[in-house]
Amino acid sequence: MRAVLGIGNPGKKYEDTRHNIGFIILNKFAEKHKLYFKPSKGEYFIAGSDFNASPFFLIKPATYVNLSGIAAKEFLDSYKVRLEDLLIVADDINLEPGKIRIRKSGGDGGHNGIASLIYHLQSDQFPRIRFGIGNDFEKGGMADFVLEKFSIEDQKIITPAINSTLEIIEQFLVSGLSTALNYFSKINKQSSTISKTTNNNEGN
């Protein structure tokens, strides 16, 4: 059994904001596979199903970002899912909008939600997808920036990246992290090839 936890803030006030890209992606995944989130007995909303005969769960914490680890701990304790089978989806200001990185483990990178997960799970050995939201803000403006909605230009950039992320999640749920990493590497190379081809054509 595998699970995906998206990091974000609950409530309509925060819908479609940069900090909520984890929720946005899980909502898109649920919509694609006709799933619905419902309240759990813990501090999270949950949706579950079988995907290619592989049972899985989607989790959205009911707490704010900096307390995301509470939901993760409650879920793992209740469903006995292994830490390596819990994939986290979070925003990253250190990546350009729409850039994706997937890692097996690591530190929090300055992200309060990831820091909460590490604290409550007492480990950083969980896979995560880091989804770039950019850092186009003045010094001291990060808090406001991450709580703003994506610009129209950013939406054009992140839409195909969201679709790629959905495919990576599908690979993870069916076959695990190694397959997801291989798939990410494949689409990353394709993206680089397309970019190089476009740049070469622009010079003609």
Could you read off the pLDDT of 142-154 as tens digits, one per residue? 889 999 999 899 9
Chain CA centroid to CA 111, Å: 13
Round to the nearest angstrom and report the end-to-end CA distance of the chain. Answer: 51
Task: Just list the catalytic residues.
Answer: 19
- Domain span at 9: 2-202
Residue 3 pLDDT > 70: yes
Among 104, 90, 80, which residue's Cα sits nearest to residue 180? 104
The torsion of the CA quartet 57, 52, 190, 157, rounded to 10 degrees, works out to: -40
pLDDT tens, position by position, 45-101: 999 987 666 789 999 999 999 999 999 999 999 998 999 999 999 999 999 999 999
CATH number at residue 67: 3.40.50.1470
> Count of domains in the chain?
1
